[in-house]
A and B are shown apart, each in its own frame.
Chain A
């Protein structure tokens, strides 16, 4: 059974720093990996989707990489801002129907002004 782990569970950094969030998964046979952002009391907002054939995806200050063979993905946030404060979730789709989506427990990020 696929397992997804996110490290660290929580992170607090001063504004302006570049930071890296980590996601690891146990089964490398995946279709894609998706990073989400969740603000308190809100829904999940999709940030980046990386297909298994891709190595990275970029959107603005965000860059996500995927190393399928080693079971790892990183989300890089450049020049962090207080508005980046949220919980970041990593989800892996392994196929096989609706049960094929596995979430990590998230990294709770706080950017200090």
Chain B
């Protein structure tokens, strides 16, 4: 989607290695989110941010950390990747916490072997 990009688009990594996914937005939206999508579970919130250096946990935050040092960038880090973290990861942004809807990125497909 224009205005929000995720990198990398695909990644294969080994169990136990650290991995960082990046979300970049050009919309200057305050809120940013990381979701994972898995068959049978749908979309689940991992972490979110409501401003620079302001973050909080979502439903499935164990094993993940995030950082937001600039309005436009939101990083998701898997400190020590496990096979259960194989998933498709989506970043989303919203202007006012969801009142005006959400915009999603194209996703990162992560495989942990």
* Chain A min CB distance to B12 (Å): 16
A93 partner, pick from B42, B98, B103, beta carbons under 8 A: B98
Q: Which residues of B contact A41 (CB under 8 A)?
A: 109
Instruction: Tell me whether B42 and A99 are in contact (CB under 8 A).
Output: no
Instruction: Tell me whether B104 and A31 are in contact (CB under 8 A).
Output: no
* Chain B min CB distance to A90 (Å): 11
A77 to B101, CA, bound (A): 21
A43 partner, pick from B56, B59, B107, beta carbons under 8 A: B107
A62 to B103, CA, bound (A): 19
Query: B19 at interface (Cβ–Cβ under 8 A)?
Result: no
Instruction: Tell me whether A43 and B1 are in contact (CB under 8 A).
Output: yes
Instruction: Tell me whether B98 and A44 are in contact (CB under 8 A).
Output: no
Instruction: Tell me whether A45 and B99 are in contact (CB under 8 A).
Output: no
Instruction: Tell me whether A101 and B1 are in contact (CB under 8 A).
Output: no
Q: Which residues of A contact B101 (CB under 8 A)?
A: 32, 34, 46, 49, 93
Instruction: Tell me whether B1 and A45 are in contact (CB under 8 A).
Output: yes
Within 8 A of A (CB), among B76-113: 90, 97-107, 109
Instruction: Tell me whether B42 and A98 are in contact (CB under 8 A).
Output: no
Instruction: Tell me whether B42 and A103 are in contact (CB under 8 A).
Output: yes
Query: B31 at interface (Cβ–Cβ under 8 A)?
Result: yes
Query: A42 at interface (Cβ–Cβ under 8 A)?
Result: yes
Instruction: Tell me whether A99 and B58 are in contact (CB under 8 A).
Output: yes
Q: Which residues of B contact A34 (CB under 8 A)?
A: 101-102
Instruction: Tell me whether B1 and A31 are in contact (CB under 8 A).
Output: no
Interface residues of A (CB under 8 A from B): 31-32, 34, 36, 41-46, 49, 89, 91, 93, 95, 97-101, 103-106
Q: Can you sample 27 A-B contacts with CB below 8 Å? A: A31-B98, A31-B99, A32-B98, A32-B99, A41-B109, A42-B106, A42-B107, A43-B1, A43-B90, A43-B104, A44-B90, A46-B102, A46-B103, A49-B100, A91-B102, A93-B101, A97-B97, A98-B48, A98-B56, A98-B58, A98-B98, A99-B45, A99-B59, A100-B97, A101-B98, A105-B42, A106-B42
3 cross-chain pairs, A with B, having the tightest CB-CB distances, nearest first? A98-B48, A43-B106, A44-B104
